[in-house]
């Protein structure tokens, strides 16, 4: 059930209780069932104040495990029942609880619940007293009626509390009645105490109506005495609680083994639903131990958000779900009602925290006592845990030493002052064959083993205290005849009684010679492999061509040899810039593997480059190379593919000599084949019978490869389909990453039987050209005009336009602007509708007649004034604007396309 629904149901129960009390009072009044009042109305205000005071001043006695709270409400209701009817008693009790509605320390719902509880109980109890017959005289029957009425009020009150618990927390309300015997005793004591005080009121009223004025005096005295007793009893209970809980934790050597009974005792003593002990390990990792009301136990589990927040706070914390804080939100998320936690600290170190959830407490004083007890308990727990951890660590160290002595491969034995062997570990038994029972308590163990130094001198440790230099090596003969070489170290020490001891550690170094020989052989092998690898690296560097460095082309290659121990083979590639400006690319696959195949492939590559540079047409390239190679080595067989690529036009021609078809992949993943036909070098029918011609668009990639890339799975058709699929998936990768991905993914999970190579040629995408360019110069930068002219010429060339007139106009406008400028001059050029718009700006003083200058030729012999005339002569439109803040001159010059560029675009 949600908290909101619980509140709604409790409010409904409060309203029903008040309605029942009102209905009973109204019925009693209209039916005139009660006796006439026996007390004057003047006594009623005093009795109302007494009821309010009795509710406010509560007597609480807390034993070692069980709390008991008593209130004198019933004793103050008894005079009302004796002197007034049901309506007056119910109204008086209701009025006495009105001040509690304005008490900020009480929740509003709690105050209304108390009002409804006691009003209903008083109404029912008074009704019972009226039915039994309350008289105005003090007789035995009247006293009995008062006692029965007090019992009824107590029963109604207790029943109301149980129903309230069932409404607010139906899952745990039986916890309230988990000890019916204790509840019965507490109820009996409550009835007896309230009956006695109620009779005190009645006796006072029977003697004189003014005797009610003496009622507050015994109440105050009893309250003070009860508080003193309660404090003393609580102090004793606190001491008993602390001593008992700490005793449980400190009994074992390792306190962590007693965590469960320890926190179970805390839960019982404090009356909490759940106790959590969070311990912070030495590595800073917190772990939690929890004991719940249902008896379940969580051992060494991760901490939750609420527990982690409590550890970080490091202070005493009391919080409930009604608070407005982050901890209250975590309480609600954890389905808790309240929390009381105390940190465990040793100086600046946080050991952990003890947290109580949903503690049963009844007053501020009890809460204060619990907080004080928790602080003391946390401090003692911290000291007990750290002390226990230290002892456990010492014990663990001793066990570790014993385990080391038992499990180490080194022989360790000790000799006392008289030469008797006192310890003999299992390694000594294994090395010498002499058991511990045969060695302990004897002086002749080493003599039986024929112990001697490396030069044959006997070793006898019977008089070890007189030795200065102990032998570093010792040779012994085991009981089975084996000769063991031992490296020894000797240490003088004392036992716990102060008796001198000699500790001997002997390591078996018999296999040392064999180990050194193996190490030398291994070193030689490593050196040979390193030399071989160096040769291979140099060979790879020698056969790999330098990148052509052509603008507009990205080229990359990836290669994997079939034999990892010989990372070169018969697959080789070449790229070279021909005198015509085209890119020559070749891929060769020679039959064979290893360095020999690399040599043959290198021969084919160089031959192809030679005949390409020689000017041999592409369709005759393979046949011409076969003729040259056949004159040198008739046994060589190789498949080749040669491509010619024009970076300017994108024209691509591919010739094949028995090689798998090349593929082209577009940026969007579209794949097409470029298949040239022909026979392999060194094979009948050699040559290229057909040359494939296509255009490589911007961003498209040509992929040349060897058959090892598509035959790795022994199905060349499936291999080619897989290669095209992979190329489509990774088409947007850079050229080098694309080639690597093709090789890695094609060979993934396949058995390599041949070398594999993938070469990628990508036509680069031209960057977008800006239609406008701008230069800004200082007034002293006349020398930069030539630099600006060169940059402007390059910019015009990129836009495929040419105009010497535009360059001259720009020079004249920039020179005039620099002459007039005070701090800066700006020249900007823009392409627009087949012409160039040239604008010069300066921040000079200006010339009001600037727009009139240059319209007529300047007089002969005049040095200045020709610039604007030249500009107007070479330009279509000239505009000039000049103010005191500067001048702007704009000219439009008609241009034409660059002839060189036009020729380049013709295929």
Across 683-706, average pLDDT: 88
Q: What pLDDT, on the 0 to 100 scale, is given for residue 6?
A: 75
pLDDT at 243 > cutoff 80 = no
- 491-500, long-range: CB < 8 A, 24+ apart: 499/416, 499/417, 500/416, 500/417, 500/465
pLDDT at 668 > cutoff 80 = yes
CA angle 532, 533, 538 (to 5 degrees): 100
| Minimum mean pLDDT range among 17-26, 132-141, 277-286, 435-444 | 132-141
Nearest to 604 by CA among 520, 700, 706: 706
User: pLDDT class for 491, splitting at 50, 70, 90?
Assistant: confident
Q: What pLDDT, on the 0 to 100 scale, is given for residue 532?
A: 59
Query: Tokens 């299992």 label which residue?
Result: 426
Across 745-757, average pLDDT: 79
381 phi and psi, to 5 degrees? -65, -40
Distance CA 895, CA 901 (A): 14
Give the 3-state secondary structure of residue 397: helix
Q: CB count, 10 Å around CB of 514?
A: 9
Give the 3-state secondary structure of residue 84: coil
Q: CB-hemisphere CA count at 13 Å for 391?
A: 13
pLDDT at 665 > cutoff 90 = yes
Q: What pLDDT, on the 0 to 100 scale, is given for residue 663?
A: 93
Q: What pLDDT, on the 0 to 100 scale, is given for residue 666?
A: 93
pLDDT at 176 > cutoff 60 = no
Q: What pLDDT, on the 0 to 100 scale, is given for residue 62?
A: 46
Question: Which runs of E-coded beta strand occur in 495-645?
Answer: 500-508, 553-560, 569-577, 583-593, 638-645
For the stretch 100-146, pLDDT in tens is 787 765 677 888 888 888 899 888 988 888 888 876 666 778 778 88
Most confident of 143-147, 273-277, 346-350: 273-277
| Minimum mean pLDDT range among 122-131, 212-221, 800-809 | 212-221
User: pLDDT class for 175, splitting at 50, 70, 90?
Assistant: very low
Ramachandran assignment for 56, one of left (phi > 0), alpha (psi -120 to 50 degrees), beta (any other): alpha
For the stretch 304-343, pLDDT in tens is 888 888 888 888 888 888 888 888 888 888 888 889 899 9
pLDDT at 838 > cutoff 80 = yes
Q: Both tokens of residue 517?
A: 């020989």
Type and span of the H or E element at 267:
helix 259-270
Distance CA 53, CA 73 (A): 8
Q: What is residue 287's DSSP assignment?
A: E
């Amino acid at each position: 059930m949600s908290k909101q629904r619980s509140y709604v149901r409790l409010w409904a129960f409060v309203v029903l209780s008040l309605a029942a009390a009102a209905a009973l009072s109204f019925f009693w009044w209209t039916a005139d069932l009660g006796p006439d009042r026996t007390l004057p109305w003047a006594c009623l205000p005093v009795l109302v104040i007494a009821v309010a005071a009795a509710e406010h001043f509560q007597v609480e006695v807390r034993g070692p495990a069980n709390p008991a709270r008593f209130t004198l409400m019933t004793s103050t209701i008894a005079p009302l029942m004796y002197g007034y009817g049901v309506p007056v008693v119910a109204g008086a009790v209701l009025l006495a609880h009105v001040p509690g509605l304005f008490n900020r320390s009480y929740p509003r719902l709690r105050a209304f619940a108390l009002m409804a509880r006691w009003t209903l109980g008083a109404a029912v109890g008074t009704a019972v007293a009226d039915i039994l017959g309350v008289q105005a005289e003090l007789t035995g029957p009247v006293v009995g009626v008062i006692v029965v009425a007090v019992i009824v009020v107590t029963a109604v009150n207790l029943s109301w509390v149980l129903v309230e618990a069932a409404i607010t927390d139906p899952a745990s309300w039986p916890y309230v009645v988990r000890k019916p015997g204790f509840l019965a005793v507490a109820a009996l004591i409550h009835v007896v105490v309230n009956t006695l005080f109620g009779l005190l009121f009645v006796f006072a009223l029977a003697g004189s109506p003014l005797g009610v004025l003496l009622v507050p005096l015994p109440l105050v005295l009893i309250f003070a005495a009860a508080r003193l007793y309660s404090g003393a009893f609580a102090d004793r209970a606190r001491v008993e609680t602390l001593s008992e809980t700490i005793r449980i934790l400190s009994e074992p050597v390792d306190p962590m083994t007693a965590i469960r009974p320890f926190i179970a005792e805390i839960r019982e003593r404090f009356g909490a639903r759940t106790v959590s002990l969070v311990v912070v390990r030495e590595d800073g990792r917190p772990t939690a131990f929890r004991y719940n009301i249902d008896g379940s136990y969580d051992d060494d589990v991760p901490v939750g958000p609420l527990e982690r927040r409590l550890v970080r706070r490091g202070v005493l914390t009391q919080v409930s779900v009604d608070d407005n804080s982050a901890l209250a939100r975590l309480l609600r998320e954890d389905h808790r009602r309240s929390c009381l936690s105390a940190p465990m600290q040793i100086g600046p170190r946080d050991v952990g925290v003890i947290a109580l959830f949903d503690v049963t407490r009844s007053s501020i004083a009890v809460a204060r006592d619990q907080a004080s007890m928790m602080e003391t308990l946390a401090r003692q727990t911290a000291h007990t845990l750290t002390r226990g951890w230290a002892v456990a660590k010492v014990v663990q160290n001793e066990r570790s030493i014993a385990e080391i002595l038992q499990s180490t491969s080194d022989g360790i034995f000790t000799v006392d002052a008289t030469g008797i062997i006192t310890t003999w570990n299992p390694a000594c038994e294994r090395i010498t064959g002499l058991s511990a029972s045969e060695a302990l308590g004897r002086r002749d163990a080493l003599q039986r083993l024929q112990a001697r130094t490396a030069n044959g001198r006997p070793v006898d440790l019977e008089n070890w205290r007189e030795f200065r230099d102990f032998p570093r090596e010792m040779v012994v003969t085991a009981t089975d005849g084996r000769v063991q070489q031992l490296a020894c170290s000797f240490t003088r020490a004392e036992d716990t009684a102060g008796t001198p001891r000699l500790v001997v550690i002997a390591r078996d170094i018999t296999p040392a010679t064999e180990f050194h020989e193996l190490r030398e052989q291994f070193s030689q092998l490593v050196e040979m492999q390193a030399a071989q690898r160096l040769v291979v690296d140099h060979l790879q560097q020698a056969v790999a061509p330098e990148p052509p460095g052509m603008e507009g082309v990205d080229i990359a290659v990836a290669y994997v040899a079939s034999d990892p121990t010989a990372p070169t083979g018969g697959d080789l590639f070449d790229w070279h810039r021909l005198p015509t400006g085209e890119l020559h690319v070749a891929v060769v696959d020679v039959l064979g593997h290893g360095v020999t195949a690399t040599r043959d492939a290198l021969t084919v590559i160089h031959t192809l480059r030679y005949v390409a540079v020689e000017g041999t047409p592409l369709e005759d390239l393979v046949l011409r190379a076969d003729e040259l190679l056949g004159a040198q080595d008739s046994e060589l067989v190789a498949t080749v593919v040669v491509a010619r690529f024009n970076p300017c036009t994108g024209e691509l021609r591919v010739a094949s000599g028995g090689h798998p078809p090349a593929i082209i992949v577009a940026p969007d993943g579209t794949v097409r084949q470029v298949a040239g036909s022909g026979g392999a070098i060194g094979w009948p029918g050699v040559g290229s019978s057909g040359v494939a011609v296509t255009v490589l668009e911007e961003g498209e990639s040509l992929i040349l490869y060897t058959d090892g890339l598509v035959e790795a799975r022994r199905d060349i058709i499936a291999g080619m389909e897989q290669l095209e699929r992979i190329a489509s998936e990774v088409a947007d990768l850079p050229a080098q990453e694309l080639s690597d991905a093709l090789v890695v993914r094609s060979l993934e999970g396949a058995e390599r039987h041949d070398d594999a190579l993938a070469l990628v040629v990508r036509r680069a995408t031209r960057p977008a050209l800006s239609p406008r360019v701008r230069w800004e110069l200082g007034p002293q930068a006349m020398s930069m005009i030539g630099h600006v002219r060169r940059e402007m010429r390059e910019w015009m060339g990129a836009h495929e336009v040419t105009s010497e007139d535009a360059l001259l106009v720009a020079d004249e406008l920039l020179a005039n602007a620099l002459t007039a400028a005070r701090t800066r001059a700006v020249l900007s050029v823009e392409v627009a509708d087949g012409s160039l718009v040239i604008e010069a700006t300066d921040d000079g003083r200006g010339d009001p007649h600037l727009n009139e200058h240059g319209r007529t030729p300047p007089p002969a012999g005049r040095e200045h004034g020709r610039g604007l005339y030249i500009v107007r002569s070479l330009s279509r439109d000239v505009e000039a604007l000049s103010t005191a803040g500067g001048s702007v001159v704009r000219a439009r010059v008609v241009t034409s396309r660059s002839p060189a560029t036009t020729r380049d675009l013709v295929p």
